[in-house]
Amino acid sequence: MSDIGTAQHHAQDTELLVARELTMRFGGLTAVDAVDFTVPAQRIVSLIGPNGAGKTTFFNMLTGLYHPTEGQLTFMGQDTFGRPPHQIAQLGMSRTFQNIRLFREMTCVDNVLVGMHTKLRGGFLATMLRLPSHRHEEREGIELARELMRFVGIHERHAELAGNLPYGDQRRLEIARALASRPSVVLLDEPAAGMNPQETYALEGLMHRIRDELGCTVLLIEHEMKLVMSVSERVTVLNFGRKIAEGAPQDVRNDPAVIEAYLGSSDGAVVADGYDQPTEAAS
Amino acid sequence: MPTVRERLGRHAPLFVLAFALIFPLIEGSLGLGMMNPLLRILTSVMLAMGLNIVVGFAGLLDLGYVAFWAIGAYCVGWMASGHFSTIKVHVMSGLPEAIPGIHLSIWLIFPIAAVLTAVFGVLLGAPTLRLRGDYLAIVTLGFGEIIPKVFQNGDDIGGHNLTNGTAGISGLDAPQLGGATGDAMLGLGWGTWGPLNLLPWYYLAIALCVLCYYVSVTMQWSKLGRAWMAIREDETAASAMGIHCVNAKLWAYGIGASLGGLAGVYHGARIGSIFPSSFQFYISIAVLCAVIIGGMGNVWGAIVGAFVVEGLNFWLLPSLTSWAAAVGLDIDFSSWNMLIFGVLLVVMMLYRPQGIFPSKSRKLVFDDEPGRPGDQHYPGGMHGPDGDGPHTPMPSPPGPGIPATPGIPAQELADVAASHRLAPERVVQQPAAPARPLPASVRFPRYGAGSNPFDRRADPDIEVAPA
């Protein structure tokens, strides 16, 4: 898989998402500085970097929550630079949030149904008159929502308010909500944060299934290096808003620039977050 | 199977409606004299349901809702009176053609006013779209003050007398239901509605309340209603889900305003005259309080809240006053309404801030699945050791979690246990969720047609990168 990192150079047409020299400035602060980034179809690619490296800012630019200062952005063959989030979501990009942003006072099923927003017709007249088309759509939407909740493993909790779920299940519900629009790319912003090892393992399996069974590309931001290194097919490292390395996990973890960014010096250690002991099983 | 209680609960609206339909008989035989205040209270019920869409569903705090009530009332003032005396327009009015002014049947005015107030709702909502919270409230408060002022000073707009100023518009047409023929067919007093013949007004109010209820409940569990609630909960996340927040908010303003407009038409026609002084800020607040006390986002909450707040204002306090007078006490309880009202609000906010009927989510009952497991040990909870100290045994998950990739090597599981200093039996591979084929009826055209509707591997718009 080590050639994935270079695939962008010769396989332009298979890239779902292409960012060129994408830059975001907040006043005098350059949070993301001229980053080139591509996302190939049906892969799991990761974006890592120390805290404050600009990863979430980069996600926010891709999904339209931030208007990038400079650069080019193409998604599914369309120019999405500076487009509003709902248009980008309509093209097939969805995301989860670093600090879980579920609709807490709505049930789990309704959360997933909101995720289906772009796929539902919901015409005003059909709704108002409760036409059969509207009733069918609602019923089938609920069925699909349950199917998706089964996929992430929280199908027994459909009637509960999202805010009442335990933390790990909230993360899964957020993923289900993101998948509900049948996206071609799903952006996961630190999905393993706060998860125990067992849940993290399960999450890794879930990401593989998202790629293999749904054919959906996963773009991952994560601090849990073990997860990143085992699940990713390509890793991009940001530091202070700049891309400092990109390539297969093994190459990136031995990159002196990356080691310096994480540890401050080149002492030969693998990328670690201080919580995980480096093990061979991770690679 | 739904329990008896659930079945009763599902049909509760029908029971309430049946009671409302026979209530005039009870009221008449007991001689309660409640009809007049009740009509005013029912007007507020319509207003509360309309405001509930804006405030309760979409979370847009609107302090100027009285504006739409006023616009609705002026609609009937313009379209069913001799106010525009230079022209003669008669549409199904049942009045002699010689009478000057615009005279439309009230049954036409209702839909016209609903559309017109919806347009005004969108126009007034548009400038507030970028505002959230307190700022939004202040701007809507401004609109609530501006509209009645416009009506108050609208007697000379470029030389045209639009609203007749503070004198208002009076002499509104009485609604007709077929005129003399209607009288003959429907019984005395139903063909042409007089101010002393309250029964037709009562049933019209009930019909309008049913309409508002239908609109509210239908919208609540639709694509648009869910979008409103998503915006209320988290606007950023809602936009990331593909919701066009601007459109959804404008729909909320428009539909909420048109319900307020319907209430205005009803009120104007019933009173028979319209004065700008009657559209005060206080009314916006009373309706908002009805929504809050009843429970924001709950349609029944809005209905009950309106009964509580306006029942206090228009029935209980005047009744207390007259009862006190009957025993020789000269106390005007009506002048205490703000005090009682304020105490009620404070008590509510202290002891039941979520309202009488808290916003409830829809209960979906599926035949093929048991209810949720009611136990505490659900997989995925925050159990397990993260910090230091002796580790308590982590309970083995009783049900399926995220199905792990099949076949994590046993060695790898053992490694995880070792690296986290866990007993090996505590790191287990979770069993996959049992497969459940989708019902054959599910044919969602915008999803894939295969066994997995979410599978997009075969989508023509995605080309897979060479591995």
Identify which of A129-133, A190-194, B115-119 has the greatest average pLDDT: B115-119
Mention every residue, 6+ apart, whose C-beta is less than 8 A from residue A73: A17, A18, A19, A20, A22, A61, A62, A79, A80, A81
Confidence of residue B439 (pLDDT cuts 50, 70, 90): low
ipTM over 0.85: yes
Which of A103, A182, A216 is nearest residue B230 as measured by Cβ atoms? A103
Q: Where are the domains of chain A?
A: 4-92+183-282, 107-180
> Percentage helix, strand, coil, to 5, in chain B?
55, 5, 40
* Percent with pLDDT over 90 in chain B: 42
Reported as a pLDDT band with limits 50, 70 and 90, residue B299 is very high
Above 70 in pLDDT, residue B294? yes
Q: Which residue has the tokens 């193409």?
A: A74
Mean pLDDT for all residues in chain A: 86
Q: What is the DSSP-derived secondary structure letter of residue A191? A: T
**In the predicted model, is pLDDT for residue A249 greater than 90?**
yes
Residue B386 has pLDDT above 60, yes or no: no
Nearest residue in B to A137, CA atom: B444
pLDDT > 70 fraction of chain A, expressed in percent and rounded: 89
Distance from the B463 Cα atom to the nearest Cα atom in chain A, whole angstroms: 5
pLDDT of residue B333: 86
**Cβ pair A106, A114 in contact under 8 A:** yes
Are B427 and A197 within 8 A, CB to CB?
A: yes
Give the pLDDT score at B42: 96
> Which range scores top for mean pLDDT: A116-120, B31-35, B41-45, B277-281?
B41-45
| More confident site: B261 or B448 | B261
Q: How far is B440 from chain A (nearest CA, A)?
A: 10
> Lowest-confidence range among A88-92, B46-50, B373-377?
B373-377
Q: Is the pLDDT of residue B248 over 70?
A: yes
Which residues, in sequence order, are bridge partners of residue B90? B103
Q: What is the mean pLDDT of residues B85-111?
A: 88
Among the ranges given (B64-68, B93-97, B448-452), the one the predictor scored with the smallest mean pLDDT: B448-452
Query: Stretch A238-255: mean pLDDT, rounded?
Result: 93
Q: Does position A146 have pLDDT exceeding 60, yes or no?
A: yes
* Confidence band for B379, pLDDT divided at 50, 70 and 90: very low
pLDDT digits (tens, 9 = 90+) for A257-273: 998 888 876 554 444 44
Residues of A in contact with B441 (CB under 8 A): 139-140
Give the confidence band of B443 by pLDDT, cuts at 50, 70, 90.
Answer: low
Read out DSSP for B151-186? HHTTT-BTTB-SS-GGG-EE-PPPPBSSHHHHHHHH
Which of residues A237 and B330 earns the better pLDDT score? Answer: A237
Residue B368 pLDDT level (bands cut at 50, 70, 90): low
Tell me the three state secondary structure of residue B138: helix
Q: Which residues from chain B sit within 8 angstroms of residue A90, using beta carbons?
A: 242
How close is the nearest chain A Cα to the Cα of B109, in Å?
A: 20
For the record, the structure tokens of B128 come out as 């507030």
Question: Is A160 exposed, middle or buried, given 0-12, 13-18 or 19+ CB atoms closer than 10 A?
Answer: middle
pLDDT grade, residue B174 (50/70/90)? confident
Say which CATH superfamily domain A4-92+183-282 falls into: P-loop containing nucleotide triphosphate hydrolases (3.40.50.300)
- Which tens digits make up the pLDDT trace of A98-115? 999 999 989 999 999 999
- The pLDDT tens digits of the residues spanning A163-184 come to 999 988 999 999 999 999 999 9
Rg (chain B; Cα; Å):
29
| A134–B444 C-beta distance less than 8 A | no
Q: Among B298-312, B378-392, B441-455, which is the least confidently predicted range?
A: B378-392
Q: Give me Rg for the CA atoms of chain A.
A: 19
List Cβ neighbours of B194 (8 Å cut-off, separation of 6 or more): B174
Contact B436/A150, CB-based, under 8 Å?
A: yes
Residue with the larger pLDDT of the pair B383 and B290: B290
- The CA-to-CA distance between both ends of chain B, in Å, stands at 51
